Amino acid sequence: MELNILTVCYLIASVTFILGLKMLSNPASARTGNLVAAAGMTIAIAGTIFLYEEDGQRLHNYAWIFSGIAIGGIVGTFAAKKVKMTAMPEMVSMFNGMGGACAALISLIEFGHIHDMSAEPTGKLFIIFAGLIIGSVSFAGSMVAWGKLNGSVKDHSFNGQHIVNLLLFFASVAVAAWITIALPANAHMMVYAVLALALLYGVFFVLPIGGADMPVVISLLNSFTGVAAAFGGFLYDNKVMLTGGILVGAAGTLLTILMCKAMNRSLANVLIGSFGGGATATAGGAKAQGSVREISLSDASVLMSYAHRVYIVPGYGLAVAQAQHVCHELEKLLESKGVEVKYAIHPVAGRMPGHMNVLLAEADVPYEKLMEMEQANDEFPNTDVVLILGANDVVNPAAKTDPSSPIYGMPILDVELAKNVIVNKRSMKPGYAGIENELFFSKKTSMLFGDAKKVLQDLVSEIKNL
Amino acid sequence: MESFFNWITVNQQIIYIVILMIFVGIEVIGHVPSVLHTPLMSGANAIHGVVIIGAIIVMGKAEGDNYLALGLGFLAVVLGTLNVVGGFVVTDRMLEMFRKKKKQ
């Protein structure tokens, strides 16, 4: 009877996962979708704790289980509530890594439970190793991605890294295959070699990929973790783990491809293209010369207050400075003076697709003011001032003109079509892709150096005093 | 070869689930607007936290004197819960901001 109830629990949970994902892909129902999936997850977890039986045996170690869930739950809630909007992408990467590590640990423990390997079916060993390798790669990769996004890990590549990566991967698979086939006596030690090789591969897989491409990598690792969870489902013949895992594996893979499309690049280009990055960056740096023109705060405020139409292009700089609220204030102030103010949102502005929308929505900027790239590009020729706030690569004309540029082919915001461009940056340092931006040297462009929040506050007070 | 076909027959249920779920996963998010890419990724991230169920099972089966299994299992439960709880809360926080705008 109880096992039948558990089956129903799992069935409900599987349906909520599918429904949840479906609702998450529509702006109107997204939040409810998330809650639906969370409710299903709660049912599945509670059912497992209280109803699961194996060979007529209930689970034990309840004290361990509950304290583990309590610790994870409290820390997870706290971390997720406290994290700043700017650090969301890192947080997702971190949580994803936790899931990968969890899958790897399950495999590790299940392997430890095997006493007589020759008595086990080959399929079971295969499943355990698949979960171990994929989970470890996902964990190590996510941690590197996390480090890159918060700036503690730098891009790093060396000649022949492709080959080293491939060797690491094949070595870990080979050791696993050897254990499965040859059943060596010291298998319980060898399994740690598989673990170490897979972790190392995860690190080297992500290390050379540019920070700007981290969202794509996180999405890919996200689907890896899904597959690792599905292997856990195989192992326990657990349908909810299987459906949940495969669902995320498939949806995550598609999402990764959609993200690449938004940047007009292929997945292979994102994963491998990074290697040429170092060389072209220096080439681009040598080429971009000339002088930049600075503009004073009062000139900038006069220019904007007497403009007809102003476009604001937000980027990561805005997010870092937490300047979304004062940005909205500036927008309202200009509107009160009869200036039409809109935002041009590049699909990959910030560190993640949709990053800017979330941020500006937080500051109560109305939806209708957020223009997508195509609309904005149509309106730039009739725009007097474009104010760029800490965006760089998404307005870099090199994406159109320079085939050797790492971002070549990415659609950009054609801000050069506007009459004036004011760029707010903290310094002349290149953006995340590490390349110079010719736009800054253009005759139409003037620079307004400083922290986005500070500059916007000063602009607001200047305009008020006009 | 025979063992391969045998394996397929024994596991046909699971294989059906895998194939159908791949299609469902792709179909279900096929038309997502780019604005929702990040929250969707985050929500999917929380869903693969189902791996916690495996962690609970492995923890609940561990013998009282197998400290390695107990320790690793405990760690797995903690990490799995982090993935689930943190994942759903972060997603909710992201989407909260979208909803607030919708009402106005």
Q: What share of chain B is helix, strand, coil (3-state, %, to 5)?
A: 90, 0, 10
Token reading at A367: 């939806």
If asked whether residues A304 and A249 sit together in one domain, one would say no
CB A125 within 8 Å of CB A187: no
CB contacts, 8 Å: B4 with chain A: none
Range list of β-strands (E), A217-270: none
If asked whether residues A201 and A340 sit together in one domain, one would say no
Higher pLDDT, A106 or A265: A106
pLDDT reported for residue A21: 95
CB B31 within 8 Å of CB A25: yes
A393 catalytic residue (yes or no) = yes
Domain enclosing residue A30, as ranges: 1-82
If asked whether residues A300 and A399 sit together in one domain, one would say yes
Does residue A275 form part of some domain? Answer: no
What SS3 state is found at A355?
helix
pLDDT tier for residue B59 given thresholds of 50, 70 and 90:
very high
On average, the pLDDT of chain A sits at 87
- Closest Cβ opposite residue A27 in set B29, B33, B87: B33
pLDDT reported for residue B104: 41
If asked whether residues A136 and A220 sit together in one domain, one would say yes
pLDDT tier for residue B77 given thresholds of 50, 70 and 90:
very high
Of A66, A82, A98, at which residue does a domain stop? A82
pLDDT reported for residue A286: 39
Tens of pLDDT along A409-421?
788 899 989 999 9
User: Strand pairing of A53-54 and A57-58?
Assistant: antiparallel
Tens of pLDDT along B4-14?
788 889 889 99
Residues A32, A38, A44, A47, CA torsion sign: negative
pLDDT tier for residue A284 given thresholds of 50, 70 and 90:
very low
- All structural domains of chain B with their residue ranges: 35-104
Higher pLDDT, A432 or A413: A413
Residue B67 in this model has a pLDDT that exceeds 60: yes
CB A412 within 8 Å of CB A396: yes
If asked whether residues A75 and A131 sit together in one domain, one would say no
A12 CB contacts (<8 Å, ≥6 apart)?
Answer: A40, A43, A44
Overall number of domains in chain A? 3
What is the rounded distance in angstroms from the CA atom of residue A435 to the CA atom of residue B85? 38
- Min mean pLDDT across A197-201, A339-343, A347-351, B54-58 is at A347-351
- Give the closest residue to B48 by CA, choosing from B11, B15, B91: B91
Residue A15 in this model has a pLDDT that exceeds 70: yes
The two most distant CA atoms of chain B are separated, in Å, by 64
CB contacts, 8 Å: A59 with chain B: 56-57, 59-61
Q: How many CB atoms lie within 10 A of CB A461?
A: 12
Does residue A274 form part of some domain? Answer: no
What mean pLDDT is predicted for residues A388-412? 83
CB B64 within 8 Å of CB A69: no
pLDDT tier for residue A205 given thresholds of 50, 70 and 90:
very high
- Closest Cβ opposite residue A37 in set B22, B46, B100: B46
Residue of B nearest to A78 (CA): B86
What is the rounded distance in angstroms from the CA atom of residue A230 to the CA atom of residue A211? 29
What mean pLDDT is predicted for residues A140-160? 87
If asked whether residues A366 and A348 sit together in one domain, one would say yes
Instruction: Kindly determine whether residue B80 and residue A98, on different chains, have CB atoms separated by under 8 Å.
Output: yes
What is the rounded distance in angstroms from the CA atom of residue A419 to the CA atom of residue A430? 24
pLDDT reported for residue A263: 72
If asked whether residues A217 and A297 sit together in one domain, one would say no
Cα–Cα separations (whole angstroms), residue A139 to A144, A218, A360, A453, A456:
9, 11, 31, 35, 40
Best mutation site among B6, B7, B26, B45 for testing chain A: the one with the most A CBs within 10 Å?
A: B45
Residue A124 in this model has a pLDDT that exceeds 50: yes
Residue of B nearest to A29 (CA): B99
Q: What share of chain A is helix, strand, coil (3-state, %, to 5)?
A: 70, 10, 25
If asked whether residues A258 and A136 sit together in one domain, one would say yes
- Give the closest residue to B62 by CA, choosing from A189, A60, A401, A434: A60
Token reading at A71: 């610790």
